[in-house]
Structure 1
Amino acid sequence: MRRLAAAIRAIGFATYKEWAAFRSHMAASLLVGPVLFLVQVFIWQAMYEGKETLNGLTYPQMLAYFGVATLIHYISFDFADWNLQMLVRSGKFVTFALRPLPHWLFALAQKIGHRSLALGIEVLPVMALFILAFGVNMKPAAPGWAVISILLSFLMNFFVNYCVGLTAFWLVRAEGVRRVFLLIKDVSAGVFLPLSFFPDVLQKLLFFLPFQFITYLPTRVYIGSYELTGIQLTLGQAVGLQAAAVTVAGAATIALYGAALRRFTGVGV
């Protein structure tokens, strides 16, 4: 375990140094996130005209929702699906198939290093901007639960995206599948609209899908309350449900990775 931890730390640190040389690329998101948030401000100002709450959320809570959702997006951002598909399509994945460390673990270590750099370049500056420029309350209701939930969101987004990337072992070109799936994922995760605003039938479906654990649930935990399809959970219960979902997603990723390797070996033979 010590050797494994040392390998993950080394890969993460190498990725951190690599991306630090191109940090201007990452800093471009300092403009994108706030601009999108400003659009949300205009939309919800009009929606709350003459109203105190919408679906149980006040206007300050709604701004906090999108502010926190933006920060979670920065923290959990992942490109494992694109990277894996490029490796498979170019044939470079063979170098990873021969290594003792499974590629999914290598990719997770890369993400840890990449997102560690993002904390200082993206997350903290944007968080300060939301607080100072827009007056958004970014204080978590329960800091401990919020941190755990965001870390679980980090893992869930990785597992979901990596599974999408694994489709490259079965499809000649998986880019179309990737684009459609990522759009469905963002909609179903609550990136564009809180899931509690969806029709009840859709809410029941989304409750059992993994996507809410990427954005909606950790955002609601950060704010201090969780409710979906009429089900209200305490913060501890919500994080426990999220942890169970992440465990299932991790097991599914490892199983699918094993099946992909068997197919890859079969094609090679």
Structure 2
Amino acid sequence: MKIKKVLVSQPKPTSEKSPYYDIADKYGVKIVFRPFIKVESLSAKEFRQEKVSILDYTAVIFTSRHAIDHFFNLCSELRITIPETMKYFCNSETIALYIQKYIQYRKRKVFFGATGKFADLVPTIMKHNTEKYFVPMSDVHTDEIKDILDSKGIEHTEAVMYRTVSNDFTPEEEFDYDMLLFFSPAGINSLLKNFPNFEQKDISIGCFGPATAKAVKDAGLRLDLEAPTVESPSMTAALDKFIKESNKN
């Protein structure tokens, strides 16, 4: 089936130089950016039920910009004033720089890993092994951080501060796409929540990552495009190739 309209379940790119726009121009297709999921903070009441006092800790570990936003917003809602002495450990430099949105950036209290992987941040944490670490988490997370910090004897506490929820469609929104692109299992869950009687028929489905691919198949849907691959390391590279093949006739 010829691809004319694609739904990308991510926010619209901030840059006009996004490869998605190049694909739209190249093949004359319409690409719509419409997230199936959104991230929201727990309420102050919900967080209090976890019985965690943030001021008991001397350092915070941030694994994403979402974690930063919801940590500081929830602290504000709880009327907690974060002391100047608090230290921050971030998975990457990008995340570390984002913290400037909320505090004055000082190298002596903001640390980050080289690769974006938590394991590469651990040596820095070990140099500050007397700190008491607080780790803001999503409701959907693995035990990787907990297991690593436990194995190193680092004092820490994880607490859920934000969650992923379905970004529901309104009755007025058209759903006339030839192709849907997903980037997380939560996106697949949202599709089925919004459209419990969804029938794929000729709609092509593409996904990024093995966990999302598994969610597509587990839902009984047909997976037409999977990235990354050796030939297509990004979703846009895979989409370009897929549309070229689909629309060549």
Q: TM-score, normalised by structure 2?
A: 0.22
Q: TM-score, normalised by structure 1?
A: 0.21
Higher helix fraction (1 or 2) = 1
Flag the structure with larger Rg. Answer: 2
